[in-house]
Chains A and B, each alone.
Chain A
Amino acid sequence: MGLANSSAGAFSVKKRLPGERVVALAGNPNVGKSTVFNALTGSNQHTGNWPGKTVECAEGRFSTKEHSYILVDLPGTYSLAAHSAEEETARDFICFGKPDAVVVVCDAACLERNLDLVLQTMEITPNVLVCVNLLDEARRRGVAVDIPLLAKRLGVAVVGTAARSGRGLSELAAALDAQTASPPSPFRVSYPPELEAAVGLLLPAAERASGGTDPRWLSLRLLERGEIPALPGGLPAPPELREAAERARASLPPGADAEDIIASSLVRASSELCRGAVARRSAGCGGADRRLDRLFTGRLTAYPVMILLLGFIFWLTIVGANYPSELLSAALFRVQDALTALMRSLGAPEWLRGLLVLGGFRVLAWVVSVMLPPMAIFFPLFTLLEDAGYLPRVAYNLDGPFRRCRACGKQALTMAMGFGCNAAGVVGCRIIDSPRERLLAVLTNVFVPCNGRFPALISVIAMFFVASHGGAAAGAVSALALTGVILLGVAATFGATRLLSATVLRGVPSSFTLELPPYRAPQVGKVVVRSIFDRTLFVLGRAAAVAAPAGMLIWLLANASVGGASLLNACADFLDPFARLMGLDGVVLLAFILGFPANEIVLPLAVMTYMSGGTLGELPTLDALRALLAANGWTWTTAVSFALFSLMHWPCSTTLITIRRETGSAKWTLLAAALPTAMGTAACMLFTAAARAAGF
């Protein structure tokens, strides 16, 4: 019976054409694996300079003169011991996905530790190609690698690359073409005699049960854990194998721990392999990095620098977005006029024109003109910080506070991902190993406003809290206010995390290890292009897909009447008494509810609803908007309530679906929606009551 055959399909590549070779890309976190992947496939998978970026296996295709390949980007792992979900994914694919070759990407600057993974992979399959990446960076840090010597010692192909500048990639492709299924003499880790003897005892039974996996590897894993490593389909180990494993473990000298012996043998072998092949010029490497760290993580400077950077990014976003926003809306509303004229000339009925142009198109135009400019500025700026290696420092700085909330510092990374998109942040929570801490991060991710909520927050702040529009000074005030809102969101994250870990998710914080990668000069051009095409257009597309139908729905509700009043007004009136308690009104609350598929459309929907009463032909400048909102009873207290509720309410549908998928539980999904809604409602009501008591 085979151990690995039953559900191997789960680990195999989709849509594999005949003759295509499957190549897996493995490596430690932060060694430029995704850069190699992108460079080879031309795919735009987003690379970030922080650990655990690839949480799902991305697939891409590329062709050489000889073959066409499917490249599978495995999650970055330090080992294949399957201690975390990522390690398990990587190991299972290498074992059971039957790749034609495995490329292990290594960081030339710390090759010794990286070779550990190479050796572990080679124990599963000899069909390994080692890619020593970041050679340029290593050279700057005074490290030189003797590639031919390493190749000779390892007995497999070794290629040196600097993937960021594209060097060595054609050699890598050529090496893949030349790769044969079984290299003549691959290096084999030799273990101490007592362990080798135990492996010898186990080997015959393992050979019979292996089902295609390497029997030596299987024996080692059995000795290590005393159980069959988790196999796809969870096939039970044959009794014969289990007995053999028992016997082999009993043969080890008392007190010897197989896992320890194996781990230290691997490290020793790696260091032997590197001796003479890796030359380190001076001990003073990373001096500049340490100086930057003193600034970015220093006791007195860390938090102020963090807040200043955040504020600076917001300031650039707000100031930079103003002008293009106005241009865009002017252009789009000229299109609206043209569309109206076109439909009139075609003799389309009035209701169809209203539905398509005033409903669908107008909301779409709003969403695009309000959202596109801030996103097109914010995403690249944020990605630059990420690319430079700043984000792991944020996690490092915030681990202390998170630990006090009984959570993990890596939650800071998922929080940062949430700035872009909460659904992405929720998926990113996979980088947290402890299930309890991961759940904390998933449930609280929505407290940082995603990019869909920024533009509305920016507009509301600009309308009600900045004296006069335009100018860098007003921009600075807006940026300050927005930073304040974000800090409030971060505070809410800590509060909610603490609350959850004191109630439903009780436990002690687990361990925390995080690599702080070297700072790298960000690739400005690539980052800008990639973040605009990957993130901005993706998020915008999603918003637009929701905005047009929602606009049509609003138009229908506004124009269909029951007993004299339009349906829209009836709904808004129904919600009104409750909304008033929160300092909002029925229209805004209704907009939040209709904005469930995408938060981007909340403010445009509210404005549309206010406008549906009269006819307002004006361009949506901030002044016209402020006048419209003020005419509908908005004051600065309404604006504060709007900001509070925007910060804390149910996650959008995409995020909720993602939470459902990640937690696999309807109960947690419900809590993820109920907790922020309750906190937001309470915050709005408290604020409103206080403001009223103070006489506003």
Chain B
Amino acid sequence: MVCSLTASGGMRRRLQDLGLVEGARVECVGRSPGGDPSAYLICGAVIAIRAQDGRNVLVRAG
């Protein structure tokens, strides 16, 4: 999956620091027991992100 566009305010830089910039590859590798924070493989590291924040990361399959 290729990340195509992000939209957010203060969270934006944090996501960018984690490697979520345009063109980066993201893969969902797991969900927490409650189903909400999910684990994503970004730049070789596994990062947990809440659905509410993940909504601001737009991705397309590719």
B13 pairs with A399, CB closer than 8 A: no
Q: How far does the alpha carbon of A517 sit from the alpha carbon of B12 in the complex, in Å?
A: 22
Type the 1/0 row for B20-52, where 1 means its CB is closer than 8 Å to any CB of A: 011010000111111111010111111111101
Residues in A neighbouring B21, C-beta threshold 8 A? 263-264, 267-268
Residues in B neighbouring A260, C-beta threshold 8 A? 12, 16
Knowing A109-B44, A113-B44, the reply to whether A409 touches B16 (Cβ < 8 A) is no
Q: How many residues does chain B have at the interface if contact means C-beta atoms less than 8 Å apart?
A: 35
Residues in B neighbouring A600, C-beta threshold 8 A? none
Question: B15, B19, B32 — which one has the most chain A CB atoms within 10 A of its CB?
Answer: B32
Residues in B neighbouring A268, C-beta threshold 8 A? 21
Q: How far does the alpha carbon of A501 sit from the alpha carbon of B1 in the complex, in Å?
A: 38
CB nearest to A306 among chain B residues: B33
A396 pairs with B53, CB closer than 8 A: no
Type the 1/0 row for A284-325, where 1 means its CB is closer than 8 Å to any CB of B: 011001100110011110110000000000000000000000
Stretch from A176-184, A358-366, A508-516 that touches the partner: A508-516
Residues in A neighbouring B44, C-beta threshold 8 A? 109-113, 143, 285
Is A484 on the interface with B (CB-CB < 8 A)? Answer: no
Residues in B neighbouring A397, C-beta threshold 8 A? 32-34
Residues in A neighbouring B13, C-beta threshold 8 A? 79, 81, 83, 259, 263
B33 pairs with A303, CB closer than 8 A: yes
B48 pairs with A512, CB closer than 8 A: yes
Q: How far does the alpha carbon of A518 sit from the alpha carbon of B44 in the complex, in Å?
A: 10
Q: How far does the alpha carbon of A399 sit from the alpha carbon of B31 in the complex, in Å?
A: 12
A78 pairs with B17, CB closer than 8 A: yes
B22 pairs with A264, CB closer than 8 A: yes
Is B11 on the interface with A (CB-CB < 8 A)? Answer: yes
B16 pairs with A513, CB closer than 8 A: no
Knowing A113-B19, A399-B37, the reply to whether A514 touches B47 (Cβ < 8 A) is yes
Residues in A neighbouring B11, C-beta threshold 8 A? 511
Knowing A396-B32, A399-B36, the reply to whether A79 touches B43 (Cβ < 8 A) is no
Q: How far does the alpha carbon of A109 sit from the alpha carbon of B46 in the complex, in Å?
A: 12
Q: How far does the alpha carbon of A596 sit from the alpha carbon of B31 in the complex, in Å?
A: 43
Q: How far does the alpha carbon of A294 sit from the alpha carbon of B36 in the complex, in Å?
A: 15
Question: B17, B29, B32 — which one has the most chain A CB atoms within 10 A of its CB?
Answer: B17
- Residues in A496-513 with C-beta less than 8 Å from chain B: 509, 511-513
A512 pairs with B49, CB closer than 8 A: yes
8 Å CB contact of A515 from B30, B34, B45:
B45
Knowing A267-B24, A400-B32, A400-B34, the reply to whether A112 touches B16 (Cβ < 8 A) is no
8 Å CB contact of B32 from A113, A302, A511:
A302
Is A401 on the interface with B (CB-CB < 8 A)? Answer: yes
CB nearest to B31 among chain A residues: A299
Residues in B neighbouring A289, C-beta threshold 8 A? 46
Is B62 on the interface with A (CB-CB < 8 A)? Answer: no
Q: How far does the alpha carbon of A300 sit from the alpha carbon of B47 in the complex, in Å?
A: 21
Question: B24, B29, B46 — which one has the most chain A CB atoms within 10 A of its CB?
Answer: B46
A511 pairs with B46, CB closer than 8 A: no
Q: How far does the alpha carbon of A239 sit from the alpha carbon of B12 in the complex, in Å?
A: 30
CB nearest to A268 among chain B residues: B21
- Residues in A392-439 with C-beta less than 8 Å from chain B: 396-397, 399-401, 403, 409
Residues in B neighbouring A403, C-beta threshold 8 A? 36, 50
Knowing A299-B31, A513-B18, A515-B46, the reply to whether A293 touches B37 (Cβ < 8 A) is no
Residues in A neighbouring B53, C-beta threshold 8 A? 511-513
A513 pairs with B48, CB closer than 8 A: yes
B50 pairs with A113, CB closer than 8 A: no
Knowing A109-B44, A399-B48, the reply to whether A294 touches B30 (Cβ < 8 A) is yes
Knowing A110-B44, A399-B36, the reply to whether A513 touches B31 (Cβ < 8 A) is no
Knowing A263-B13, A263-B21, A267-B16, the reply to whether A516 touches B39 (Cβ < 8 A) is yes
Is B60 on the interface with A (CB-CB < 8 A)? Answer: no
B18 pairs with A113, CB closer than 8 A: yes
Q: How far does the alpha carbon of A363 sit from the alpha carbon of B33 in the complex, in Å?
A: 46
Min CB distance B27 to A, Å, is 10
Residues in A neighbouring B45, C-beta threshold 8 A? 107, 109-110, 113, 515, 517
Type the 1/0 row for A134-150, where 1 means its CB is closer than 8 Å to any CB of B: 00000000010000000
Type the 1/0 row for A512-530, where 1 means its CB is closer than 8 Å to any CB of B: 1111111000000000000
Interface of B toward A, CB cutoff 8 Å: 10-19, 21-22, 24, 29-37, 39, 41-50, 52-53
- Can you name 29 A-B residue pairings with CB atoms under 8 Å? A78-B14, A78-B18, A79-B13, A81-B13, A83-B14, A110-B43, A110-B45, A113-B43, A116-B17, A260-B16, A263-B16, A264-B22, A267-B16, A286-B46, A290-B30, A293-B39, A299-B33, A302-B32, A399-B32, A400-B32, A400-B36, A511-B11, A511-B52, A513-B53, A514-B48, A515-B45, A515-B48, A516-B39, A516-B47
- Using A110-B44, A297-B33 as known contacts, list a sample of 19 further A-B pairs with CB atoms less than 8 Å apart, ordered by residue number in A: A78-B14, A79-B13, A107-B45, A110-B43, A111-B44, A143-B44, A259-B12, A264-B16, A290-B30, A399-B36, A399-B37, A400-B33, A400-B34, A409-B48, A511-B11, A511-B14, A512-B48, A512-B53, A513-B49
